Amino acid sequence: MPRVVRIEIGARTYEVIIGAGLVRTLGGMVSEVTPARRAAALVFDTALPTGLVEEAAGSLAGAGYEVTRIGAVGDEGHKSLGALEAILAAMEASRLERGDPVVALGGGVVGDVAGFAAAVYRRGTVLVQCPTTLLAMVDASVGGKTGVNLRLGDGTTVKNAVGAFHQPRRVAIDVMALGSLPERAFRCGLAECVKHGMLGGDLGDAGLLEHLESGVERVLAREAGALVELIARNVAVKAAAIGGDEREEAAVGGRALLNLGHTFGHAMEPMAGLSPDGDARRAPLQHGEAVGLGLVAACATAEAMGRIGPGLGERVRALLTRCGLPTRVRGLPGDEVLLAAMAHDKKARGGRLRLVLPGGAGRAEVVTDPPREAVVRGLGAIRSA
């Protein structure tokens, strides 16, 4: 049976439904939240198996929608204003009206760009997320953050610099879609699961990190039951973080905690020459790889500040290794370059760096202006000779 997690944000609620074979019933799930069935835009990752796209489109058509298919490239380099414009132009050409649903079928990049299109098309239309990567299932598809990266005049790319908060009406997570996901991309999703485990004590699931440690082999084998359980628990942790803090404005805790590891990770992710194993053919780092490295750096920074002992950092490094994720990286630029990149992070306030740092197993908090030497220690913990 599918698992259902309710997301409650003020007076608004929506359901995240997690199960096996849900794409076959996608049309019915969409029609429940958009009863006036007329037309739908299916924005899909062009790298998905044709059969999965056909199944989704057929289910929507069977529920009474006239379906416009809009292909999108699901890699980080195409998460751009140009990609957004192409989706919006296709929506306008098909004469979608306000209220006609946009269904995002793909990973986090497609979900973010399609979600942003839904947020701004005719000042906002209905969004349904149908994520197909583990990373998007446990993170990007839930919570309403949408957006694209911004390329500056000097060639620097600022991740997620342009976007909007636009909550989906429903999220349909079909774990069977993970069957065709490349191994590297699948393992990247586990970085967010480790992050949620590090936050679980603050967000209602103190045993989540231990659960992942005990069952990681079943998850790596893509057992459907293990995936449904892990994804449902991760979504529930994220729901606890965002419920009272939709726009990441809480002074303490709230949604900002979900950025654990991300300020370090976002600084490294756009750097063209970095790869998980030093092989340039696998550059750049994927998002989950960068986040995993960021978790190690955050633990080392917290340890240097005396906030935690060495045990948590060792535990996190060991789990990430079991997940097949890098914990060190070759070719990192100098500390000043990385610190400058971290200063571009959206969480900075008044030019002051803000980091989410662990305070023990299951706990974390936002730290403003951490000592430079502690942050440098964190960067040192992920450098490989």
Catalytic machinery residues: 123, 145, 192, 238, 248, 255, 259, 262, 266, 287
In this structure, are strands 39-45 and 329-330 parallel, antiparallel, or unpaired? unpaired
Tally of CA atoms within 13 A in the half-sphere of 347 that contains its CB = 24
Beta strand spans in the chain (E): 3-9, 12-19, 39-45, 66-72, 102-106, 127-131, 145-151, 157-165, 170-174, 329-330, 354-360, 363-368, 383-384
| Cis? peptide before 182, omega within 30° of 0 | no
Q: How far is CA 381 from the centre of its chain?
A: 24
Rg (CA), the chain: 20
Angstrom distance (rounded) from CA 234 to CA 377: 30
Q: CA 182, CA 310: separation in Å to the nearest integer?
A: 34
Measured CA distances, 43 to 3, 80, 104, 128, 237 (Å): 25, 15, 5, 10, 27
